[in-house]
Amino acid sequence: MQQREAEKRWHHGPSWLWLLSFVVVIAGDALIGRWTLLPFYVAAFYGGMVVIDLFTYPMLERWRAWVRKHGLVGWYLVEVGLMWIGTAVVLALLAPHWLQWTWRGPLFLQIIGGVGLVLSVLVGVWAAGQMGWKRLLFVPALFPPGELAEQYDVPQRLVVSGPYRYVRNPLYLTDMTLIGSTALLTQNFFLIMLLGVYVAQLVMQLRLEERELLARFGEPYARYLKAVPRFIPRLRPVDPKVIYGEDER
């Protein structure tokens, strides 16, 4: 029982760290007296995601061959060490310029941005918790069903729980609303530009991702595509049994 509870906490760990990270950066900006850490954090995180997206799905087979030799930890080191940190360093060097790209907008827009930011983070925590850390950041795509997935205990089951019963891509949806909300809250033009870039690469990524998931999960995912919208949530959650069908039994 204790082992199961420990595994559950580990499974949800990254989602709570995501929430904590925003508490920390917003508290830091409160001490500084201006929006600095929050726009930089959002820009670095999602700028890094754009770089990762552009270098992962278009070259998926090459990355799969690479991770066969270097494993899950090797992938995270390349992803976090090179792509994410590299992007953060570049943005940090340019920060004196783009952090000044601000406008003076009405207060109600900042209020909308603040509310949107809170909702985006909370739904993102919910979605990431349902997905689990080993399903995040392209890991399932890099470790398809087989020996490697079993070796690194990478789950291969289609997730139809939590927010995934309402919308197919809750994390991508909250990514977009989070970037946009932060732009309104901090009144930073650079984040508006980043949102445009993120949406553009997401259009490319989703085509490849959905094709990959359809090949992996087959008929259950085909039913999921028909029953659950890509970005506009359903009013009523889909019944997982409808999606899994015979596979559930």
Of 104-108, 182-186, 208-212, highest mean pLDDT: 182-186
Contacts of 186 (CB under 8 A, 6+ apart): 35, 38, 39, 102, 113
Helix (H/G/I), strand (E/B), else coil: 249: coil
pLDDT score, position 1:
43
Domains of the chain: which residue ranges?
2-241
Claim: this prediction has a pTM higher than 0.85:
yes
- Minimum mean pLDDT among 139-153, 165-179, 196-210, 222-236: which range? 139-153
Tell me how many helices (H) and strands (E) the chain has: 11, 0
Closest CA to 181 of 51, 84, 38: 38
pLDDT at 247 over 60: no
CATH of span 2-241: 1.20.120.1630
Mean pLDDT over each residue of the chain, to the nearest integer:
85
